[in-house]
Amino acid sequence: MKGPAEHPETLRLLVGFLRSYVRMSQTELGQAARISQGQISAFDTGTKKPTDDFLRRIATAAGVPWPLIPPLRHFISDFLTLVERGGPILEIANPFESLAVQAYLLEEAAAESSRDSPAQLQREAETFWAVVANLPVDRRRRVVELSPRASRNWALAQLLCQESRKVAAQDSREARELADLALSIAQRVPEGGEKTATVEMARRVIAEVGRELLQDF
């Protein structure tokens, strides 16, 4: 999903956070990351921006897995953007939701509203599902409900229909949960466009899964 431009203070705070996390001085972090103390100082003050290579070295020195850095970077940028422009306050009910989920939801709140193309909505659906697919069922549904875009995205509803059909033979209960969630999203889709077709698709999948459930007894 394409979000707003990165806040100019993001990388300074990201490097500062990583250094604080491991409680290292600039010299210590520089030695661990094979970066000069002067460069670390420049990153700390914001006079220079680290490249991805430098960020990878700093993350490694801090013991932070690289896959956590991009969502953390997005989270910091979107947090600063919301604070400075007085955007909506995003309430996340469960403070232990994954950082990736928090970053995704916060990025949504910070992004400007726009008319999205079908391809963009499909990309958003795939990105969102990759983030929440492995969450427990109740948390997964809650994250969808909290997301103002995902909860109304016809492409996500159609993706869930496909996922429901994939797992129906192995796990009919999970298939029914996915189909129910798909219908819930489809019914929130704005009128027009793909709404009618998506609602009908979700209802067909629920009927198919219902037959699978009956065969389990």
CATH number at residue 4: 1.10.260.40
For residue 119, how many other CB atoms are within 10 A of its CB?
Answer: 9
- Verify that 45 and 125 share a domain, yes or no: no
Of 114, 139, 165, which residue constitutes the final position of a domain?
114
- Please give the average per-residue pLDDT across 54-78, as a whole number: 87
- DSSP 8-state secondary structure symbol assigned to residue 189: S
- Verify that 83 and 141 share a domain, yes or no: no
What pLDDT sits at residue 144? 86
Contact by Cβ (8 Å): 22, 62 = yes
Number of H helices, E strands in the chain: 11, 0
Q: Which of 161, 213, 153 is nearest to 187 (CA)?
A: 153
- Verify that 145 and 208 share a domain, yes or no: yes
pLDDT tens, position by position, 105-124: 666 655 544 456 888 899 88
Whether residue 196 has pLDDT greater than 90: yes
- Verify that 110 and 172 share a domain, yes or no: no
Helices (H), 4-36: 10-22, 26-33
Whether residue 128 has pLDDT greater than 50: yes
Q: pTM of this prediction? A: 0.55
- Verify that 21 and 108 share a domain, yes or no: yes
- Verify that 146 and 53 share a domain, yes or no: no
Distance CA 76, CA 14 (A): 7
Of 114, 147, 181, which residue constitutes the final position of a domain?
114
- Verify that 17 and 83 share a domain, yes or no: yes
Whether residue 190 has pLDDT greater than 80: yes
Range of the domain at 136: 116-215
Contact by Cβ (8 Å): 59, 69 = yes
- Verify that 190 and 131 share a domain, yes or no: yes
What pLDDT sits at residue 14? 96
Query: What is the band of 162 on the pLDDT scale with cuts at 50, 70, 90?
Result: very high
Q: How many domains does the chain have?
A: 2
3: amino acid identity, one letter: G
